[in-house]
Amino acid sequence: MIRQALLALAFAAAGATPAAAGFLESVPGQVVDLPTRAGVTDRYVAFAPDQAPVAAALLFTGGEGVLTIKDHVGPTWGQTGNFLVRIRENLRRRGIYVAVIDVPSDHSYGYGLYRTSAGHAEDVAAVIADLRKRTPGVPLWLIGTSMGTISAANAASRLHGGSGPDGIVLTSVVTRIDLNPKGSFHSAIYDVDLSAVHVPTLVTFHRSDNCDAVSTVDGSRILAKLENAPRKDLMLFEGGDPPQSKPCEALAAHGYYGIEAKVADAIADWMLAGH
């Protein structure tokens, strides 16, 4: 059954600074360099919960996906950056083993159109396999935000069974092909075969998202194209703090600025409810 959930959320306290609003300091991350395709490595950073994990989640950031993860990742890493990076501690405290993936070594300049490729799915499959070894017996999810939703959906459409995820979450989905000022094209969610996704899928938007690559009215269309997903839902959020960035960037409604904890809990509740 398709359920559209409207979560009306109050504004956060006035005066919160961009560095502090909605951000919880995390434990230091474990940095992993993993061989994927021939001659290619991919780096990710993992944050293990204090108890045995109840689930694992691989996070895909937006934009070009370039994080330049250093050898040592401290507790305040990314505190003013991508929405998913900012909520990693919220998810970790729910018992979720959280990993954040960087671009592969042969795409250090950024994903671009590679997000919809078979090669990208192959990279993700290698990371999924590594995470399953670290978190045996628990469901593994892919969570993407903005352009990262294309990576998550692409992997789920190409990888099935044990090599693929147990579910995906798509937040602030890019529904319009974006032509940036330099003229390089990027993909939209409809460039992925959503009918090939066979796992539970959650789609979320902020009603006030003014990013020109996002159209919240496309939520129902996305769910309709997910015709083979056994469980699918759309959540629409409201509220937050005044934006501290441009509309398509992290500290605006596009990044759920000021309501991060509420959105993180809603995502975790939905993921864990199915298991």
Per residue in 23-67, pLDDT (tens digit) is: 899 999 999 999 999 999 999 999 999 999 999 999 999 999 999
Predicted confidence at residue 272, as pLDDT, reads 96
Give the pair of three-digit tokens for residue 13. Answer: 């306290």
Please report the pLDDT score of residue 23 as a whole number: 85
Q: Tell me the three state secondary structure of residue 236.
A: strand
Written as one letter, the residue type at 123 is D
Copy the structure tokens of residue 27.
């434990």
- In sequence order, what E strands does the chain have? 3-7, 30-35, 41-47, 55-60, 96-104, 140-145, 167-171, 201-206, 232-237
Task: Look at the chain and report how many structural domains it folds into.
Answer: 1
pLDDT of residue 135: 98
pLDDT at 181: 46
pLDDT tens digit sequence for 146-179:
999 999 999 999 999 999 999 999 999 999 865 4
pTM (2 d.p.) = 0.91
Residue 148 has a pLDDT of: 97
Residue count of the chain: 275
Q: Which residue range is the domain that position 21 belongs to? A: 3-273
The segments of the chain whose pLDDT lies below 50 read 1-20, 179-184
Provide the CATH number for the domain around residue 157: 3.40.50.1820
